[in-house]
Structure 1
Amino acid sequence: MVSDSITTAQRLSLCGVEVIDTFAEAFPIKGTRLIVTAVNERWARIAAAEFCGNATSVIACDLEAAAERMLSPDETPDGRPGVSILAFGFSRDGLAKAVQTRVGQCILTCATTACFDGLPDCPEDKQVPLGNAIRYFGDGLQISKRLGNRRYWRIPVMDGEFLCEDKLGTTNAIAGGNLILCSRSQEQALAAAEAAVTAMEQIRDVVMPFPGGIVRSGSKVGSKYPKLKASTNDAFCPTVMSFRETELPLGCGAAYEIVIDGLTEAAIRSAMAAGMRAAATCDGLLRISAGNYGGRLGKHHFHLRDLL
């Protein structure tokens, strides 16, 4: 798909950067989209940042979440500035509980906000309670309002009312698409990762849930310490490459991983391809790779050679 990629049985490259002939291994998960609006963009961003705190990985968080994109007033249900948030959890019930808690603690409490279902075409049997669970905060003073086939709750709060949709749509989704970018220096690795994330952010239906979309502490399954589920992925740590088996190229000073969660396989594929192209143009990038478990754990495989 790009004219400057070279494919052989042993070697792939993109813009002169080595691409390892491997794949990212991703997992089935449940996903949802929330639309949060506020009096202006600043407060919409604040609400999203609060909701998405401590939501990097379901290894130790109740869900994975990040802002998908900012929304203009003509894109939101109430005609105000807003933000689209994608959230993911292993089970529909677990996702519902985590979203309810975070909306109650982070969106309800945030000045001027309202919260809407971002998957309104979801079948009824895949919907989960949202406002229907939070409404009790109104202590009997809450009011329901139905517009068409959508129901909302108006909960009295100190700056007026918190408007929240009754139910939230969910869908089958995918978590764990990824790229690993290996560069000569930390500065160059970060620049490549930032360029990749910026490109990925233009793709709908995906988010990168780690800080700034970038992972510095890539992990492997298991540890020498029995209580740990995961530990540092030492094969990609440059400070131990002289005495541990390494996946880093010669001269590599730093690597970053980008993890992608999405509502569809096609969206993750597009995001990975966009990220690879953007990173490959950055100075000092030596190698593009991806993380997997040999195909044993996740049924979704994104082969890098197919994204060139």
Structure 2
Amino acid sequence: MQNIKIPRSVCAVVASVLHGSHPVLDAKFASAGVPGPPPDLPHATKWKEWLYRAGKDPSVDSLCVLGSLIEEFMDVPPLPNSGATFKLLGQQFGDESNPLKAYQEERQRLETTLEAAGLRYFNGGRVLPISSSPSETVADTNGEQTRRPQQVEELIEVIVRGANRAMYPLTHRRKGLTSLTFTSEYDIQDLLHSHLRSWIADIRPEEYTPSYAGVSTRMDFLLPRYKMVIEVKRVRDKSHASRIGQELIIDMEHYRAHPSCDSLWCVVYDPGHFIENPNGITKDLEGKRTSPGGSVSVRIFVL
């Protein structure tokens, strides 16, 4: 983990190139691994202060967080035929007559600011000290790791946090080939299963949990060697988003009593941004949950 203090100059420029509403950027910061809650500040200062605070937190891999936040901006230039979005980009960067030029100038400004701080950006969401090179690291799914994972938990976290990027080549396939969709929980389960299977031989899908309140349920994935369960949920609409926390609590009660489950990882896929406060769900539900029937360590990922 590289906990390097992120200068305020870098935080300010990063905040200026990020675009979206408070809920959208709250979710982006949470997905990047920035610990919450977010600062209660206006839009103009909230993001740079939140990033600066994360850079001072010894538990945060600040370079991974920084790379994840700017990856889309750095790696995906706007398309001239993107209509209103392209025009909006020009408004954001102050040149409606030539949005692409404005984007390029902003990208160069961010690169220059990073270099002044002794940092350099590499494709794939990797930010490294200038003295380092990409060959010293392992390319990952979305910049959450800049080194080879040493523990299975690190590997699985890379796979989970990179699920959105892993979907892209499947939903945007070559001309004439059938594109895949990810419209159900089973779609997300299959994606994660296929990535996990390359690394972990013993994956047991849909084993039954002990009964809770007279009801038994089937878990998505049990990794018995590591005593870990991965549970996947896809948020369907606003109504479902309001119930997702309660669903996760019920799942935790089931898994606490399972003899092969010490860790429960809940992956919540929310492509419509229906969850208004993903940081609140994470803060409220993560951690060790213990009762007379057993205990389980819980992690929450809202994608």
Question: Does TM, scored on the shorter chain, surpass 0.5?
Answer: no
Q: Which has the higher helix share?
A: 2
The TM-score bracket by the shorter chain reads under 0.3
Normalising by structure 1, what TM-score? 0.27
Q: Which has the higher contact order (CA 8 A, sep 6+)?
A: 1
